[in-house]
């Protein structure tokens, strides 16, 4: 069964929280037990040390009534049992009185020997059967003025206090942990919902795209990664909507441009067949038919170029060559058009400028740019060339005077299917594919193509390509003729 992101996130968060609580609980209980034992040991040993100090001072002996009263008062205000034994482990005085079980039992010899050898004892046990349950016990021997051991002092407290203490700690900890887990779960659900909601909106918008509706947009909330995703998605949607609109417009233009020449061709051919057009006019009308076929050929070629570009069939074969060769060839090929439109040329001063690119591809790019420049240069205007090298790149600027490009249209001039003036026919501005094809070709050669314009003054296309290197001829081993003469 498919799990949603929210379910996975909640499950992961819950597992992490439970693992953290268990780890924290174990660590906390371990330190609590150590702390409790340390506190008990310190307390019991402190009582034992005081009793040993009193007994070793010689001012009070085990038969003193004052000492008995002190032990009785200690038993009243504390749960600590203090008893004094002789060197054989027989109890001679106890804080619980003469009826306590210590008088009827002897301290095990093992405990006495360990206390004597180490100088003290600290343990949690039944004192080898002395107690019915586990007790914390501390003990020390006390000596007379000559250093002879006269007996032992022991202090004990019931270990069940630890159980009660840990039960209180346990209940407090798990109540706090439960409240924390509940609040964390609620917070996790809220945060997950806030995180998932934009993704769900993006999913719904994507489904709308699948149905052909490119108007859907995702609200942008916050400034995190999900918001960045929403912004990117909206930008993509805007691009898709614009491309779809351009595609529909382009298809309408193509249909119109196909219908117009085909209607013209059919009309003239039918006129020749039914003798409506006299034979002496055939050459004139066949010339018009040839122009219309040329229009169809250009459209078909552009569509084929787009198909090949998208299929990755255009693979550059870069070489080092002089960019001025391409510029010169294109300019000379358009010489009659320059003269017919009285267009002047500036900056045409060829000098060797090597670039590293596919020469055929760049020829097509330069041809497209200059062809457009001639089309849109005003009568008696001029086209300027500017070629220079900088930072490992060669820049070629081709500027034409005239109406320029509208500021609103400039960002989309290289978009596929885009045409600046929708009212003009295919023969004026082409199919809207030339500049897009040029941009792709330049990019595949490691360069860039951009446009600048001031409306009413000029439009300039700036082409940049990697700088080329002078190819070195291989050095021969020697001159064969000279070798023969020698």
Distance of CA 432 to the CA centre of its chain: 37
Domain residues for the domain of 137 are 5-164
φ, ψ for residue 59, nearest 5 deg: -80, -30
Using DSSP's 3-state secondary structure scheme, residue 393 falls into: strand
Which CATH number characterizes residue 49's domain?
3.30.450.20
Distance of CA 283 to the CA centre of its chain: 68
d(CA 485, CA 476): 18
Task: Indicate the residue among 164, 181, 206 that finishes a domain.
Answer: 164
Q: Are residues 71 and 154 in the same domain?
A: yes
Cα three-residue angle 207-211-214, rounded to 5 degrees: 80
Q: Are residues 307 and 324 in the same domain?
A: no
Q: Is residue 265, in this structure, part of any structural domain at all? A: yes
Output the pLDDT for position 6: 67
Residue 362, Cβ density class (10 Å: 0-12 exposed, 13-18 middle, ≥19 buried): buried
Distance of CA 29 to the CA centre of its chain: 40
Which CATH number characterizes residue 421's domain?
3.30.565.10
Number of Cβ within a 10 Å radius of residue 229? 15
- Please report, in tens digits, the pLDDT of each residue of the chain (486 residues total): 455 666 777 777 778 878 888 888 788 778 877 887 788 888 888 888 888 887 777 666 655 555 666 666 565 556 788 888 888 888 888 877 766 777 777 888 888 888 888 888 888 877 777 777 788 888 889 888 788 888 898 888 887 776 777 777 778 887 888 888 788 778 877 777 777 777 778 788 888 877 777 777 777 777 777 778 778 888 888 887 777 776 777 677 667 667 777 888 888 888 888 888 888 888 888 888 887 787 677 767 766 776 676 666 667 889 999 999 999 999 988 888 888 888 999 998 899 999 999 998 899 899 989 988 998 898 889 999 999 998 899 999 999 998 888 888 888 888 765 666 544 343 344 556 778 888 888 988 999 999 999 888 899 999 999 998 876 545 444 443 433 333
DSSP 389: E
Number of structural domains found in the chain: 3
Of residues 253, 247, 243, the one with CA closest to residue 412: 243
Q: Are residues 102 and 159 in the same domain?
A: yes
Q: Is residue 202, in this structure, part of any structural domain at all? A: no
Question: DSSP labels for 251-314?
Answer: HHHHHHHHHHHHHHHHHHHHHHHTTSS-GGGHHHHHHHHHHHHHHHHHHHHHHHHHHHHHHT--
Output the pLDDT for position 240: 79
Q: Are 357 and 445 in contact, with CB atoms under 8 Å apart?
A: yes
Of residues 167, 195, 425, 170, the one with CA closest to residue 291: 425
pTM of the model: 0.46
Strand partners, 140: 153
Q: Are residues 53 and 100 in the same domain?
A: yes
Output the pLDDT for position 447: 92
Distance of CA 288 to the CA centre of its chain: 60
Output the pLDDT for position 429: 43
Long-range contacts of 249-255 (CB under 8 A, 24+ apart): 249/417, 249/419, 249/422, 250/417, 250/419, 250/431, 250/432, 253/419, 253/422, 253/426, 253/431, 253/432, 254/299, 254/431
Which CATH number characterizes residue 236's domain?
1.10.287.130
Number of Cβ within a 10 Å radius of residue 3? 9
Output the pLDDT for position 328: 92
Cα three-residue angle 140-145-146, rounded to 5 degrees: 95
Q: Is residue 481, in this structure, part of any structural domain at all? A: no
Q: Are residues 60 and 17 in the same domain?
A: yes
Output the pLDDT for position 459: 92
Q: Are residues 293 and 357 in the same domain?
A: no
Q: Are residues 306 and 325 in the same domain?
A: no
Q: Is residue 205, in this structure, part of any structural domain at all? A: no
DSSP 60: S
Q: Are residues 33 and 159 in the same domain?
A: yes
Tokens for 446? 């490691």
Of residues 330, 480, 341, the one with CA closest to residue 396: 330
Q: Are residues 246 and 347 in the same domain?
A: no
Q: Are residues 10 and 126 in the same domain?
A: yes
Question: DSSP labels for 398-433?
Answer: EEEEBS---TTTGGGTTSTT--S-TTS-HHHHTTS-
Task: Indicate the residue among 278, 311, 344 that finishes a domain.
Answer: 311
Output the pLDDT for position 100: 73
Q: Is residue 377, in this structure, part of any structural domain at all? A: yes
Q: Is residue 477, in this structure, part of any structural domain at all? A: no
Q: Is residue 435, in this structure, part of any structural domain at all? A: yes
Half-sphere exposure of 206 (CA within 13 A, CB side): 10
Q: Are residues 353 and 389 in the same domain?
A: yes
Q: Is residue 27, in this structure, part of any structural domain at all? A: yes
Task: Indicate the residue among 269, 286, 311 that finishes a domain.
Answer: 311
Output the pLDDT for position 417: 59
Do the strands 121-125 and 135-143 form a parallel or antiparallel pair, or are they unpaired?
antiparallel
Of residues 409, 435, 417, the one with CA closest to residue 254: 417
Report the chain's terminal Cα–Cα distance, integer Å: 91
φ, ψ for residue 40, nearest 5 deg: -65, -45
Output the pLDDT for position 484: 36
Q: Are residues 409 and 323 in the same domain?
A: yes
Output the pLDDT for position 480: 37
DSSP 102: G
DSSP 35: H
């Amino acid at each position: 069964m498919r799990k949603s992101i929210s379910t996975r996130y909640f499950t992961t968060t819950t597992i992490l929280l439970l693992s953290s609580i268990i780890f924290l609980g174990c660590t906390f209980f371990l330190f609590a037990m150590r702390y409790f034992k340390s506190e008990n040991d310190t307390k019991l040993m402190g009582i034992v040390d005081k009793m040993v100090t009193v007994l070793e001072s010689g001012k009070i002996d085990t038969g003193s009534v004052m000492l008995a009263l002190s032990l009785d008062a200690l038993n009243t205000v504390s749960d600590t049992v203090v008893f004094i034994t002789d060197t054989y482990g027989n109890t001679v005085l106890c804080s619980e009185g003469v009826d306590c079980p210590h008088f009827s039992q002897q301290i095990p010899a093992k405990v006495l020997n360990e206390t004597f050898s180490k100088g003290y004892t600290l343990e949690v046990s039944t004192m080898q059967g002395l107690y019915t349950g586990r007790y914390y016990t501390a003990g020390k021997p006390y000596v007379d003025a000559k250093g002879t051991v006269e007996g032992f002092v022991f202090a004990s407290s019931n270990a069940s206090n630890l159980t009660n203490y840990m039960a209180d700690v346990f209940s407090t900890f798990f109540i706090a942990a439960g409240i924390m887990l509940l609040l964390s779960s609620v917070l996790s659900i809220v945060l997950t919902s806030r995180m998932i909601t934009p993704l769900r909106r993006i999913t719904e918008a994507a489904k709308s795209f699948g149905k052909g509706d490119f108007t859907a947009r995702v609200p942008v909330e916050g400034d995190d990664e999900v918001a960045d995703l929403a912004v990117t998605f909206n930008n993509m949607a805007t691009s898709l909507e614009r491309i779809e609109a351009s595609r529909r417009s382009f298809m309408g233009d193509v249909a119109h441009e196909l219908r117009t020449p085909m209607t013209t061709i059919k009309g003239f051919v039918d006129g020749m067949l039914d003798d409506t057009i006299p034979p002496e006019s055939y050459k004139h009308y066949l010339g018009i038919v040839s122009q219309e076929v040329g229009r169809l050929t250009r459209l078909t070629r552009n569509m084929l170029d787009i198909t090949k570009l998208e299929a990755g069939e255009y693979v550059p074969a870069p070489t080092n060559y002089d960019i001025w060769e391409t510029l010169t060839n294109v300019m000379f090929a358009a010489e009659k058009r320059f003269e017919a439109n009285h267009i002047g040329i500036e900056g045409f001063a060829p000098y060797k400028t090597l670039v590293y690119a596919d020469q055929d591809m760049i020829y097509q790019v330069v041809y497209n740019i200059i062809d457009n420049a001639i089309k849109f240069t005003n009568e008696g205007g001029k086209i300027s060339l500017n070629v220079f090298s900088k930072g490992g790149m060669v820049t070629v600027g081709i500027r034409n005077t005239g109406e320029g490009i509208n500021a609103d249209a400039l960002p989309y001039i290289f978009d596929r299917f885009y045409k600046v003036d929708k009212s003009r026919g295919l023969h004026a501005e082409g199919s809207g594919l030339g500049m897009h094809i040029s941009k792709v070709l330049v990019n595949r050669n490691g360069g860039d193509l951009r446009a600048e314009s001031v409306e009413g003054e000029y439009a300039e296309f700036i082409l940049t390509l990697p700088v080329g290197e002078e190819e070195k001829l291989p050095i021969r081993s020697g001159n064969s003729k000279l070798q023969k003469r020698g």
